[in-house]
Amino acid sequence: MCFCFCDNLCDLFLQNAHHRRSIAASLVSAAYILEHDRQENRQGCEALAPQWWEFFNFQLLYPLIDTNDSSIFGAVYEFNPKAFNYYQTGIIPKYVIAFRGTTIKKQSVSQDLWLDLNIIKHGLHQSTRFGTAMQAVQRMVYVAGASNVWLAGHSLGSSIAMLVGKNMAKMGNYLDTYLFNTPFIAAPTEKIQHEKLKHGVRFASSLVKAGLTVAMKGSKENRNPDDLFTALAAWVPKLFVNPADLICSEYIGYFEHRDRMEYLGVSGIERLATQTSVTGLLKSAIGRESEVIHVVPSAHMTINRSPSLNFMEAHGLQQWLRDDLHLQSKAYQYRL
């Protein structure tokens, strides 16, 4: 029975990217529920989290704990060892490391909100939660290889997964990464209804960022601004965004504007502008360390064009578990 299930699961991975999205989202959901189980003291048969990974033939290897509040912020899952033959094909990952987003549970909400603030301040890379995540991923990549490890996350957890994925890519390890509703720290330009005005605002923003980048080129830390960014070009994370979600919707304009600037023949300006944010540049100018998480050279972006009743639904993880969505997908590859 188990062998047939594994065969069917392998077929799902081969034939349908939506199933892979659902599996990644389910394992992120399990990370949320692990923390809820902990706070509600649900153990053994009363625990709700296991059903989210057992259905897809994964098992919990170990949870990831934030030492600041003892909360579970993520988990390392292992695919059933009985299906080992599939690992070598790269179809099914041996390990999936998934990170939850912000919860409103009383024992973890204060630390989660503090980390949300650090995303805005471009300081998430200095958190112990990121350090714990990075160590876990490096360990799994060392054990199984980059082709056998997935990353997944939602909201705050998606920022952690993005930051970990970028750091692994800089070391030549390109992990298959599923990022749901990743925060994009910028003014909500995508919400401007007048198309010409919206494009004008984006063009002006590009000019400002490109100008600041050139002005700071002489400093030690900005002497070669292209180097770190272009090193990430081969990594193509999977971004899942909803245009009704102000937290992540700017990714739509970020990539579309880059294509438009290339079409207009001014890609040189955008090449500088797309690498950072104004906040990140200003922090660097005054000597403060920062890591702009949301900018990424390449991505495969999937937009959920289905109507959302409210912000909570548009930002929620559950939308990505549905199979009746109106989705629009496009791959954006950074040209060196």
> What is the distance between the alpha carbons of residues 71 and 102, in angstroms, rounded to a whole number?
11
Nearest to 275 by CA among 331, 334, 330: 334
Is 153's pLDDT higher than 90?
yes
The number of residues in the chain equals: 336
The DSSP letter of residue 309 is S
User: Is the pLDDT higher at 45 or at 283?
Assistant: 45
3 state SS of 176: strand
Mean pLDDT calculated for residue range 59-73: 96
pLDDT of amino acid 286: 44
Nearest to 185 by CA among 234, 117, 237, 240: 117
The rounded Cα 258 to chain-centroid distance in angstroms is 20
φ, ψ for residue 327, nearest 5 deg: -110, 145
**pLDDT tens digit string along 105-123?**
889 999 999 999 999 888 8
Q: How confident is the model at residue 2 (pLDDT cuts 50, 70, 90)?
A: very low
Is 214's pLDDT higher than 70?
no
What predicted TM-score, i.e. pTM, was given to this entire model?
A: 0.83
CB count in 10 Å sphere of residue 262: 14
**pLDDT-wise least confident of 134-148, 190-204, 221-235, 289-303:** 190-204
> What is the distance between the alpha carbons of residues 285 and 196, in angstroms, rounded to a whole number?
32
Contacts of 324 (CB under 8 A, 6+ apart): 306
> What is the distance between the alpha carbons of residues 212 and 286, in angstroms, rounded to a whole number?
13
Amino acid code (one letter) for 53: W
**pLDDT tens digit string along 250-273?**
899 888 877 665 645 555 545 555
> What is the distance between the alpha carbons of residues 134 and 292, in angstroms, rounded to a whole number?
17
Q: Which two tokens stand for residue 102?
A: 């912000």
Asked whether the CA dihedral 126, 132, 135, 140 is positive or negative, the reply is negative
**pLDDT tens digit string along 3-30?**
344 555 555 555 578 889 999 999 999 9
User: Is the pLDDT higher at 212 or at 109?
Assistant: 109
pLDDT of amino acid 211: 53
> What is the distance between the alpha carbons of residues 27 and 23, in angstroms, rounded to a whole number?
6
Mean pLDDT calculated for residue range 139-150: 95
Backbone dihedral region of 296: left (phi > 0), alpha (psi from -120 to 50 degrees) or beta?
beta
Residues 179 and 240: beta-carbon distance below 8 Å: yes
> What is the distance between the alpha carbons of residues 77 and 34, in angstroms, rounded to a whole number?
12
User: Is the pLDDT higher at 219 or at 20?
Assistant: 20
> What is the distance between the alpha carbons of residues 85 and 94, in angstroms, rounded to a whole number?
11
Q: How confident is the model at residue 241 (pLDDT cuts 50, 70, 90)?
A: very high
Residue ranges of the domains in the chain? 2-180, 189-332
pLDDT of amino acid 229: 74
pLDDT of amino acid 185: 83
Mean pLDDT calculated for residue range 171-176: 95
pLDDT of amino acid 274: 59
Q: How confident is the model at residue 315 (pLDDT cuts 50, 70, 90)?
A: very high
Residues 261 and 267: beta-carbon distance below 8 Å: yes
Is 335's pLDDT higher than 70?
yes
